Chain A
Amino acid sequence: MSVDVEKYLVEQENKQLLKFITCGSVDDGKSTLIGRMLYESQLVFDDQLAELKATSKKVGTQGDEIDFALLVDGLAAEMEQGITIDVAYRFFSTDKRKFIVADTPGHEQYTRNMATGASTADVAILLVDARAGLLPQTCRHSYIVNMLGVKNICLAINKMDLVDYSHDIFERIKGEYFEFSKDLNFESIIPIPVSALRGDNIVNASKNTEWYKGESLIQYLENVKFYTEKKHQVFTLPVQWVNRLSHDFRGFCGQVSEGSISEGDDILIKPSNKRSKIKKILVADKTSSSCFRGESVTVELADEIDISRGDIICHKDSSCEITDQFQGKLLWMSEEKMVPGRPYIFKFGVAESSGSVSKLRHRININTFVEEASRDLELNEIGIVNIALDKKLPMEPYSQSKSLGSFIVIDKLTNNTVGMGLVNFSLRRGDNIYWHKMEINKDSRADAKNQKPIVLWFTGLSGSGKSTIANILEKKLYNLGKHTMLLDGDNVRHGLNKDLGFTDVDRVENIRRIANVSKLMLDAGLITIVSFIAPFKAERRLARDLMGEDFLEVFIDVPIEVAEARDPKGLYKKARKGDLKNFTGIDSPYEKPENPDIHIKSDKISAEVAADLIIETLTQNEII
């Protein structure tokens, strides 16, 4: 008995792991199909089956029959609503392979979850309801699966029992799908007629579809070739962590993302472009003469070279580029829309940098694949963008390398993952514009004026008293013999920013320009007072990041009722009447600073006292 088990265990050790995703429209029967596969592979236990039968009667949609969908719809809320609301991972195995299924929802608003499931999938099962044929969601999901580089598609034409197992219907849908997908880059599309509910062509060939001679769904999953080794696999190891044990051991850890390498081979390190040889390889904790794609390894090099997390150890022929400007596809995953110019964190594998979308070239309509003009990206929208990073990172087009060509976007304030992207190609613009190194620098200019330059960044509602306080402050500084400059919102909008309106997108661009102008003023050695509403935290943060330590945020704080009662320019009245759109505090938000450097409650003190308070702070901080 136990001899058989040992033999079994040895066989099982050589199984492969296949990750796949199921997608399709809402009622195409995804959950039922997965439930059926779990049931057929005998992974449903007696106690689970008993619970399933009881729940099927209570909330199921199949009368007294078992509702397989209930086996996979996990969270309590969605059991009540009858929809799958997130990505769930399911596991089953046959004698040939172990499978991990990403079960993702079909509703349009969950495109982001589908993309999540597709990002790790080797194969996609695309479900189509035989009665309904191709739906917009079928096309949308095909587009996303294709965009994420899944090459093998199984077109499972489901609910064949409800169309009398009609060969004609099967052929028609198959034909339509081939026609639809001819412009996508799939390597194989295998159509299979199934009924998840009745079990036709799931494990074995069904008697109901004798006209069909192909594989059953499980046979397809067991046999599909999902990873084809490219001819020129170039060894690439992104360094994840440096294992420093002693003076004589420095190991560079990471998961090999492409190719293979052996002891003694020559390697190149990016971005430093230094060269060395592989001295020793550990695969997990075992010494090995070589290592391959997918393995988590630690390598020692023959030379002592400074390498840190985010660097790449690769074969000398690697086409990996080091760049801070690139064009890519971006899928937005947050309720809060993507605005060009706003700073985000971009994480590529194990390397990251802050940066922003420098240009939204266009949005892609995923129903028609048509390119549309747009100024921002909303949740679930896909755009072609130019991205500018604050530092250069190693990257490659996604079509060449999934690991060096993929990135996530992280919001700097909430830390949420708000987008996912793929590199199309690097833009080498940055390489041709050299930063002009100047002999006279900020410090020398400031020395000549005998002062310490700083940016005083005022923020507050319209009518809070920003301009009044700023004017008094500048006079006081002038009288102290300081060299100053005052940038006022209204004045700048008459000139430099004449082309900008008051939408969120324009407000972000307005502040981006002002922040950069202030930086030039700062470099000129001036004490620069910037007086703008600056309603968004993200842009104020951008300004702070740009200026570094030479920056003080001054919050001119007043309750909106007080500002509205003052209404020096009559703008609140207009906004209330609806004559003025996107007015901060009325129909456009003002995000209060949480930790301003100087906090002025301008309804409690006079403008004169407020200016004195700022002077005092500057003196305390030894700026004047």
Chain B
Amino acid sequence: MNLTHLETLEAESIHIMREVVATADNPVMLYSVGKDSAVMLHLAMKAFHPNKLPFPLMHVDTTWKFREMIAFRDKIISEFGLKLIVHINEDGVNKGVGPFSHGSSLHTEIMKTQALKQALDKHSFDVAFGGARRDEEKSRAKERIFSFRTEKHQWDPKNQRPELWNIFNTHKHKGESIRVFPLSNWTELDVWQYIYKESIPIVPLYFSAERPVVERDGVLILVDDERLPLNKDEAPMMKEVRFRTLGCYPLTGAVESSAKTLPEIIQEMLLATTSEREGRIIDFDNSASMEKKKQGGYF
């Protein structure tokens, strides 16, 4: 008997998660509230069934996430009885760091990358699960499933441990950590198919609805709260939009769409001609920017 591709991917992800729990001292799952996190969480609950998750979830909140994301997060946590740690870079909050005052890349650096390092250090987590996939971006395609980080959380793309068969080297020195990507071999289409097949709950922002947006440099930005500074001649307009990816609302572009169901989203995706991360403003700096961010500790 041969497994289907989704069954193969599911079995592989579960194997990876169990390997971490069997060998790590203090693992954590980074939960970003997006669709990939939803799939990762769903797989984790399967992997340890009928037990509870043997690790907490952690959300690094930049304070600029969509309100619907936070509401959805809290609902999922209470519904499934999960343990969640929310980390905010208070230093950044006190200095008033935000995407409008400090620009997108500095904001991301302080409120996301720095915040993540702070949180990992504070709780002494030695392994952190992340929902990144290799098909997302060129430098991700080369990252290992078990990706080793130095004491300073740095990634050295030229000095990665070879990964053979399904044998994972989980040995590390004190202070060092490993980021583990159980969805490495999943594609965007696999993720959507699996959400559909398993009826996994996701943030409603992925589905199209009438939402207030403004258009800036050709990108549709949701007016999620009063912190979005409007120019004099700018007025929010109601448009039927949805999001293909979720992050900080001022840095995430919406797409005009009428897709209100999963099959419609998948159909739209199959016909799409732009890649998923285009909605993310932080990737536009230059084509090697993701690699640089990752060397500095970004997920």
Contact = CB atoms under 8 A, between A and B. Distances in A.
B50 A420 contact: no
Contacts of A93: 187, 189
B169 interface: yes
B10 interface: yes
A14 B164 contact: no
B142 A86 contact: yes
B287 interface: yes
A93 B185 CA distance: 13
Interface string A330-350: 000100000000000101111
A186 interface: no
B291 A415 contact: no
Given A112-B162, A295-B3, A240 B48 contact: no
Interface stretch (A1-9, A203-211, A316-324, A533-541): A1-9
Interface stretch (B70-78, B214-222, B273-281): B273-281
Nearest to B139: A74
B150 interface: no
A296 B11 contact: yes
Interface residues of A, number: 79
A76 B139 CA distance: 8
Interface stretch (A40-48, A215-223, A387-395, A582-590): A40-48
A51 B47 contact: no
Interface string B238-281: 00000000000000000000000101101100001111001000
Interface stretch (A154-162, A400-408, A468-476): A400-408
Contacts of A417: 161-164, 169
Contact of A408 (B1, B48, B169, B266): B169
Residue with the highest number of chain B CB atoms closer than 10 Å, among A2, A74, A89, A285:
A74
Contacts of A278: none
A227 B3 CA distance: 11
Interface stretch (A115-123, A543-551, A561-569): A115-123
A89 B171 CA distance: 24
Contacts of A294: 3, 7-8, 11
A76 B18 contact: no
Contacts of A249: 50
Contacts of B12: 296
Given A6-B263, A87-B142, A253-B18, A46 B165 contact: no
Nearest to B197: A13
B21 interface: yes
A298 interface: yes
B185 A100 contact: yes
Given A5-B263, A350-B19, A48 B167 contact: no
Nearest to A345: B171
Contacts of A47: 274-275, 278
Given A85-B158, A296-B10, A76 B267 contact: no
A74 B193 contact: no
B6 interface: yes
B134 A91 contact: yes
B134 A75 contact: no
Interface string A88-107: 11110100011010000000
Contacts of A55: 287
Residue with the highest number of chain A CB atoms closer than 10 Å, among B164, B261, B263:
B164
A113 interface: yes
A293 B50 CA distance: 22
Nearest to B4: A14
Residue with the highest number of chain A CB atoms closer than 10 Å, among B46, B51, B167, B185:
B167
A113 B278 contact: no
B152 interface: no
B4 A13 contact: yes
Contacts of A348: 167
B135 interface: yes
A402 B164 CA distance: 11
A227 B134 CA distance: 25
A9 B287 contact: no
Contacts of B5: 15-17, 97-98
B6 A13 contact: yes
Nearest to B169: A417
B165 A120 contact: yes
B142 A75 contact: yes
A46 B274 CA distance: 5
A74 B45 CA distance: 34
Contacts of A285: 45-46, 49-50
Given A116-B162, A282-B49, A5 B3 contact: no
A227 B264 CA distance: 35
A47 B278 CA distance: 8
Interface string B1-43: 1111111111110110011011000000000000000000000
B23 to A, nearest CB: 9
A76 B49 CA distance: 42
Nearest to B2: A16
Contacts of A5: 263-264, 266-267
Interface string A1-29: 11001100100111111000000000000
Nearest to B50: A245
Contact of B173 (A51, A100, A410, A415): A415
A496 interface: no
Contacts of A309: 22
A284 interface: yes
A260 interface: yes
Interface in B277-295: 278, 287-288, 291-292
A427 interface: no
Contacts of A73: 138
Nearest to A10: B197
A86 B160 CA distance: 9
Nearest to A333: B162
A329 B268 CA distance: 50
Interface of B: 1-12, 14-15, 18-19, 21-22, 45-51, 134-135, 138-139, 141-142, 157-158, 160-167, 169, 171-173, 184-185, 187, 189-190, 193, 196-197, 261, 263-264, 266-267, 272-275, 278, 287-288, 291-292
21 contacts: A9-B193, A9-B197, A13-B193, A16-B3, A17-B5, A17-B9, A73-B138, A86-B160, A115-B164, A227-B2, A240-B22, A241-B22, A245-B51, A284-B49, A285-B50, A294-B11, A296-B14, A296-B15, A298-B49, A333-B162, A417-B162
| Nearest 8 CB-CB pairings of A with B | A285-B49, A74-B138, A76-B288, A17-B5, A296-B14, A415-B171, A45-B275, A5-B263
Given A86-B158, A116-B162, A417-B163, 8 more contacts: A75-B138, A119-B164, A284-B11, A284-B46, A285-B46, A285-B49, A294-B7, A403-B166
